[in-house]
Structure 1
Amino acid sequence: MAELTGLFSPGRVAVVGATPREGAVGHAITSNLIEGFSGEVVGVNPNHDEVLGVDCVDSLADAGDPDLAVVVVPPGIAVDAVREAGECGVGDVVVITAGFGETGSEGATRERELREVAEEFDLNLVGPNSLGVMSTPVGMNATFGPDDALEGSLSFMSQSGAFITAVVDWANDQGIGFKDVVSLGNKAVLDEGDFVEAWNDDEETDVIIGYLEGISEGREFIETAREVTRETPVVLVKSGRTDAGAQAASSHTGTIAGSERAYEAGLEQAGVLRAESVQELFDSAQMLANQPLPANESIAVITNAGGPGVMSTDAVGDSRLSMASFSEDTLDSFREALPAEGNVHNPVDIVGDADVERFTGALEAALADPNVGMALVLSAPTAVLDYEELAERTVELREKHDKPVAACFMGGERVAPAAELLREAGIPNYFDPARAVESLDALAEYREIRGREYDDPTEFDVDRERVRELLDRAEQRGDNRIGVEAMEILEAYGIPIPDGEVVSDPAEAERVAGSIDGEAVMKIVSPDIMHKSDIGGVKVGVPESEVYDAYEDLVTRARNYQPDATLLGVQVQEMVDLDSGVETIVGMNRDPQFGPLLLFGLGGIFVETLEDVTLRVAPVSEREADAMIDEIDAAPLLRGARGREPVDEAAITETIGRLSQLVTDFPEIVELDINPLVATPTGTTAIDIALTVEQ
């Protein structure tokens, strides 16, 4: 783990490229530091003796052992400046300068050199192409943004510097403060995982939030975030949601499991709360920073407005929360306190003429009910309701019962003083009931995350050497797509397959069919024909007497469909009784950021149409494989729907685990489909496989 104390709490900061020229980045950063930084600031620029009243020296060697160097010089000399920082013993560097990997091959070369220098001197390097960093406890604004952040307990990272300037300006208006702020830039050295890990150990950071356009090392990030989120919530906005298929993929898994689906799976496995918008990001962060976690997911809504009460109920229906069922004692309390036209059931309508006493009496009874995990105080302004007094009493009751409370004091100017009282006490106020419910939902989700148990993947006894031999053989042929002849790979990893062989002439097909009990299934074997059933390249239920002619017909169909296709023969295998089982799919697509992304779902010919699938980043534990089975909509089919006998779910779990181990052991496998994997009451059988390797 990177020790980042010098980055956020430096005693002395050197600005390499400080300048008195207004409008220059070096001027803005120096000015921002001088205005608020509690430590010392020194400029580094051989053309000036002083900048904005602070000393300016010729080089970092003359800068008096700074803890942090902020590099603002042109890209052609920025690498030399970072090297000088390393030679002078500066451990933390922020490279503001652009013109690196984001600009093309020359910039990419320069960024590689920058990374090599950082590795040589073991530097904590932010950027390049960074807005800079802030840390409010020491008053440090080492950015060229126009505003200082307010002090608070949120630590914020962003791949967009412009987004930081906009957020800080907006947050200042909303009274939202930060502990640290980091513009990640190109992430040549330090990335999101480093900051998540560092902020977890920071007692002044209550919630970690971020805007990301990508994650550099997906699997490593999952492992880091799993540990961090046991103690510190992490909430991220990830852009690029609609760019779901960066490259066309030939397999079912590749088609379904685009980049966005990988991020969904990876961030969920990491225990990260994903916000859909900037508004949701800060709604969730403020709630997580200031409220206790609920004991359960049941919410009580106390309102003087029937319509907004119904709106909040709809919002609860769209969340993981549930409307609390009150105890008889609580219902009796409501009946005694409310007028006859009120509603004692959830949402509790205390009627439009309710004063503060009626409001807080109902809230007190609800929060005292052990069935209630959290509450929403929802009110519209009336002439008889003192909003400021209601805010004060709401704060008192939240502290008394130590349960999360959100406020929805609807209104404008009339609400402002009460909203400020609530904000100071850590109770956010929302105009929209749906936002209030969503923020409480984030608390419930984080409660579930903290309670998770993570297991190590099962290590199965497998034949790795046999798989290596088979993959090497495909490489020697120059094939990157391997079809049904890859069945032996599954067999080597203990995944059941039907009896059979791949043959290259009709007489051999007859021989194999004769050794099979019952009718046979025959399939074209070609790495160039992936969807064999579409061209009539599969024959089911072939009696032994028809095997010879079936072989000839299959080869003819393949030649007519694609004359230049590589034809490796025909697979003859025993026929599996599909009527007694359920066709599922187990697959993998290797994502550039997260690595092997496993897929499980309803299989067969309609897999891409129905897309009833779930995904996980491999390797997965038995617990995670079980969860994959639970999550698909078709799970009841596996468990005996319509009088069918339940399938062997333990066998599915084991198959997922064995496939997870296979694709983890052999990173050259970039796509793999087992479709269908037939699940029956007595086990599973892989009927067909398509496999792509990277040569």
Structure 2
Amino acid sequence: MLHKNLINPKSIVVIGASNNIQTPGGSVLKNLIEHNFKGKLIAVNPKETEVQGIKCYQEVSQIPKVDLAIIAISAKFTLETTKILTHTKNTKGFIIFSAGYSEKDAEGKKLEQEIVNEINNAGGTLLGPNNIGFINQNYVGVFTRPIPKLNSKGVDFISGSGATAVFIIEAAMSTGLTFSSVYSVGNSAQIGVEEVLEHLDNTFDDIKSSKVKLLYIESIENPKKLLKHASSLIQKGCKIAAIKAGSSSAGSRAASSHTGALANSDNAVDALFKKAGIVRCYGRNELITVASIFMLPALKGKNIAIITHAGGPAVMLTDTLSKNGLNVPEISGKDSDELLSKLYLGSSVSNPIDFLATGNAEQLETIIDYCENKFSGIDAMVVIFGSPGLFEVYDVYDILHKKMRTCNKPIFPVLPSVVNVKKEIDYFISKGNVMFPDEVLFGNALAKTLNPTNTAIKDVNSFTVNLKTIRRIIENSTNGFLPPQQIKELLIAAKIPVVNEVICNSKEECILASKKLGLPVVMKIVGSIHKSDVGGIILNINSIDKLLDSYSKIMKIGSAKAVLIQPMKKGIELFIGVKKEGSFGHLILCGLGGIFIEVIKDISSSLAPVSINEATEMIKNLKSYKIIKGVRNQEGVNPILFAEIITKVSYLVSVAPEIVELDLNPLLGNSKEILAVDARIRIEK
């Protein structure tokens, strides 16, 4: 929990305060003064007695007790300063601007940890170091500009980068987005994005707190904490959008399985965000657009009316919405004809509703009223309105302002004329509105905000497994890939259906196996990880002669230790995989199997534990879902059975966390059964 003296201090000292407002210490003091901090301000500067009209002390030891210290001095002086503040001034809140700590070198990291230890021992909270500061309704403790418009119902913004926070604030101000708080965590020496989110969750008030949270994350240090508190806030009615920078998987371990090739830390981030219900964004403008959509009434359907006086943007928006599964339905009938009669000749109301470049505020109001009251098939309106700059259009924005507050259906204003009617747009924003300057960016963002899943707190199905057998196999195994017989025992103990199989070390054993299993059979090499790559799989062996010939061929392969014989099964090839992805835990993947997993790479993923509902959603999200269901009179797969096996695999790795990679590829499925035909499991203790 963040200390109250950081959040709402009654007194603040700026150490390194200056009359030069182009320094961090001078600028932060100016911001505190100009934004009316109501508590006591104290300045420390060895060369001054007064700074910006505030009494200045030459040494920290001279100041009275103080709640919050904003430290803007060289890193080498901060430890001693912190000691004086914690030991003699009862200071509990700390913001350190200076750089030169863990981001620099080992010596800086040691210094940073010593400062954290001092603050921890005092029961205080540190924001930073190497950050731009903190803004909330109580004070503006940043050295940067501009300061966003503050509003208790604006967004809470947590950023791992100070510069990025400034850029996002700048862009957001031009669209009307307001802020309730801004946390710049810098090096996250004591608290990072996860801890701030935890604080927002634990202190959330349904009436007073902001219900929109924005995150800019460079490193997720505690995925489980992030998942827990993001999910909790979303369950409380909040909406969260986030950028996770650094999505490259270049540093991943060389893959030794299909799962290893397909899974990476970015997949894990996707899965975590999806599980929590966080909308993932990939750029500043997208984040701001999603946040602005969150600030407006929620879209409850998929049918959109586009109201415009410019054809091009309406066409581009129609394309964008349609590609993202939203509808721009045709509007026709008596009411449509009636509306058309009220517009200038040449207008169109079929949707998009184009009331021409000469359209006016009165016509816009009429169109909105028809969409609101007479066109029952419409769920929301997008109003695209710009200007060639020939005349003022304040009346249009007054109509938009009024209708956005009185209509039951959401109205999204797309206002592209950010130069020609800048004054009118500023006027519109000053009345508490948000706007969207780009129709395509808006359309893509709107689609992202629809029904984000939140599966983190749903019940996870438990299965009756042979836990004793699972643990015995794991504990008696050495690190690396398990041999086939142990894999089979492990899957059976986890109640995962497997195809019958026999390992053979001679032609005589092959003949006995074929009689037991029945022809035709499949023969596979034992001893090679990638069987198909070395020619170690022979299908549809339907005679004893072919059986013996196949055994000879496979045993000539250098890595062959034995052969594995299975009955020849038919069905759709499926894939389930697991990879342990650091502190994220186990990433579960599914998709079409066999060669399709390598060629198409159509996978769906989630973080364990996976519920039956979540597994079902994973399957439905596959591009190949239609194939799995069955197409063109071909028998499909039972999706319930597929989902059950996904959850069983998830449960297996929860009771055997030593499993770091697991491939079931392929599973063969039809409408009646799904069987694991080939599997590999790697463990690390």
Tell me how far apart the structure 2 counterparts of residues 273 and 59 of structure 1 sit (CA, whole Å): 45
Query: What corresponds to 1:645 in structure 2?
Result: 635
Structure 2 counterpart SS, 1:253:
helix
Equivalent runs, 1:616-635 vs 2, <5 Å: 616-635=606-625
* Worse-matched range after superposition: 413-422 or 256-265: 413-422
* Worse-matched range after superposition: 332-341 or 353-362: 332-341
Query: What corresponds to 2:523 in structure 1?
Result: 522
Structure 1 counterpart SS, 2:103:
helix
Q: Does 1:191 align with 2:192?
A: yes
Tell me how far apart the structure 2 counterparts of residues 22 and 352 of structure 1 sit (CA, whole Å): 48
Residue 247 to residue 438, structure 1, CA distance change in 2 (3 Å): same
* TM-score for both structures, normalised by structure 1: 0.87
Q: Does 1:301 align with 2:299?
A: no
Does the CA-based 8 Å contact 2:303-2:378 persist in structure 1? yes
* Worse-matched range after superposition: 489-498 or 431-440: 431-440
Does the CA-based 8 Å contact 1:300-1:323 persist in structure 2? yes
Does the CA-based 8 Å contact 2:520-2:568 persist in structure 1? no
Residue 449 to residue 460, structure 1, CA distance change in 2 (3 Å): same
Tell me how far apart the structure 2 counterparts of residues 59 and 352 of structure 1 sit (CA, whole Å): 65
Query: What corresponds to 2:370 in structure 1?
Result: 365
- Deviation for aligned residue 1:242: 4.3
* Worse-matched range after superposition: 606-615 or 352-361: 352-361
Query: What corresponds to 2:566 in structure 1?
Result: 574
Tell me how far apart the structure 1 counterparts of residues 55 and 389 of structure 2 sit (CA, whole Å): 59
- Deviation for aligned residue 1:464: 2.8
- Deviation for aligned residue 1:659: 0.7
Give 5+ residue unaligned stretches, structure 1: 560-566
Tell me how far apart the structure 1 counterparts of residues 309 and 380 of structure 2 sit (CA, whole Å): 18
Query: What corresponds to 1:10 in structure 2?
Result: 9
Query: What corresponds to 2:353 in structure 1?
Result: 348
Tell me how far apart the structure 1 counterparts of residues 119 and 482 of structure 2 sit (CA, whole Å): 42
Does the CA-based 8 Å contact 2:198-2:225 persist in structure 1? no
Does the CA-based 8 Å contact 2:227-2:456 persist in structure 1? no
Equivalent runs, 1:215-234 vs 2, <5 Å: 215-230=220-235, 231-234=237-240
Residue 364 to residue 634, structure 1, CA distance change in 2 (3 Å): same
* Worse-matched range after superposition: 229-238 or 317-326: 317-326
| Letter of the structure 2 residue corresponding to residue 664 of structure 1 | S
Equivalent runs, 1:11-160 vs 2, <5 Å: 11-15=10-14, 25-26=24-25, 28-30=27-29, 32-36=31-35, 37-43=37-43, 53-56=54-57, 64-72=64-72, 75=75, 78=78, 90-111=91-112, 120-135=121-136, 137-141=137-141, 143-152=142-151, 153-160=154-161
Equivalent runs, 1:141-540 vs 2, <5 Å: 141=141, 143-152=142-151, 153-171=154-172, 176-199=177-200, 201=204, 203-230=208-235, 231-243=237-249, 246-289=252-295, 291-326=296-331, 328=333, 330-339=335-344, 341-368=346-373, 369-381=375-387, 387-411=393-417, 413-438=419-444, 440-441=446-447, 444-445=449-450, 448-449=451-452, 455-475=458-478, 479-482=479-482, 484-485=484-485, 486-502=487-503, 508-509=509-510, 511-526=512-527, 529-540=528-539
- Deviation for aligned residue 1:160: 1.2
Residue 23 to residue 237, structure 1, CA distance change in 2 (3 Å): same
Structure 2 counterpart SS, 1:323:
coil
Residue 209 to residue 314, structure 1, CA distance change in 2 (3 Å): same
Query: What corresponds to 1:563 in structure 2?
Result: none
| Letter of the structure 2 residue corresponding to residue 469 of structure 1 | R
**Count of aligned positions:** 672
Tell me how far apart the structure 1 counterparts of residues 545 and 401 of structure 2 sit (CA, whole Å): 84
Does the CA-based 8 Å contact 1:267-1:273 persist in structure 2? yes
- Deviation for aligned residue 1:351: 3.3
- Deviation for aligned residue 1:573: 3.6
Tell me how far apart the structure 1 counterparts of residues 540 and 453 of structure 2 sit (CA, whole Å): 52
Tell me how far apart the structure 1 counterparts of residues 628 and 173 of structure 2 sit (CA, whole Å): 54
Tell me how far apart the structure 2 counterparts of residues 192 and 213 of structure 1 sit (CA, whole Å): 9
Structure 1 counterpart SS, 2:632:
helix
- Deviation for aligned residue 1:622: 0.8
Give 5+ residue unaligned stretches, structure 2: none
Does the CA-based 8 Å contact 1:244-1:261 persist in structure 2? no
Tell me how far apart the structure 1 counterparts of residues 600 and 27 of structure 2 sit (CA, whole Å): 55
Tell me how far apart the structure 1 counterparts of residues 22 and 647 of structure 2 sit (CA, whole Å): 58
Does the CA-based 8 Å contact 1:498-1:576 persist in structure 2? no
Tell me how far apart the structure 2 counterparts of residues 188 and 511 of structure 1 sit (CA, whole Å): 66
Does the CA-based 8 Å contact 1:265-1:615 persist in structure 2? yes
- Deviation for aligned residue 1:31: 5.1
Structure 1 counterpart SS, 2:675:
strand
For residues 4-41 of structure 1, give each alpha carbon's deviation from its aligned partner in whole angstroms, at most 9, with x where no partner exists. Answer: 54322211224456678987655554554455432223
For residues 299-319 of structure 1, give each alpha carbon's deviation from its aligned partner in whole angstroms, at most 9, with x where no partner exists. Answer: 111122333322221122233
Tell me how far apart the structure 1 counterparts of residues 241 and 511 of structure 2 sit (CA, whole Å): 61
| Letter of the structure 1 residue corresponding to residue 434 of structure 2 | P
Structure 2 counterpart SS, 1:557:
coil
* Worse-matched range after superposition: 190-199 or 538-547: 538-547
| Letter of the structure 2 residue corresponding to residue 636 of structure 1 | K
For residues 597-637 of structure 1, give each alpha carbon's deviation from its aligned partner in whole angstroms, at most 9, with x where no partner exists. Answer: 11100110231210111111111111110011111122122
Q: Does 1:584 align with 2:566?
A: no
* Worse-matched range after superposition: 312-321 or 75-84: 75-84
Tell me how far apart the structure 1 counterparts of residues 519 and 6 of structure 2 sit (CA, whole Å): 72
Structure 1 counterpart SS, 2:647:
helix
- Deviation for aligned residue 1:77: 6.3
| Letter of the structure 2 residue corresponding to residue 556 of structure 1 | K
Tell me how far apart the structure 1 counterparts of residues 114 and 310 of structure 2 sit (CA, whole Å): 63
Does the CA-based 8 Å contact 1:39-1:138 persist in structure 2? no
Does the CA-based 8 Å contact 1:498-1:573 persist in structure 2? no
- Deviation for aligned residue 1:199: 3.4
- Deviation for aligned residue 1:426: 4.1
| Letter of the structure 1 residue corresponding to residue 578 of structure 2 | M
| Letter of the structure 2 residue corresponding to residue 220 of structure 1 | K
Q: Does 1:596 align with 2:551?
A: no
Does the CA-based 8 Å contact 1:133-1:180 persist in structure 2? yes
Tell me how far apart the structure 2 counterparts of residues 322 and 129 of structure 1 sit (CA, whole Å): 47
Residue 158 to residue 556, structure 1, CA distance change in 2 (3 Å): same
* TM-score for both structures, normalised by structure 2: 0.88
Structure 2 counterpart SS, 1:237:
strand
| Letter of the structure 2 residue corresponding to residue 435 of structure 1 | L
For residues 354-406 of structure 1, give each alpha carbon's deviation from its aligned partner in whole angstroms, at most 9, with x where no partner exists. Answer: 33222221121012233222111223537998621111112222222133222
Tell me how far apart the structure 2 counterparts of residues 409 and 147 of structure 1 sit (CA, whole Å): 23
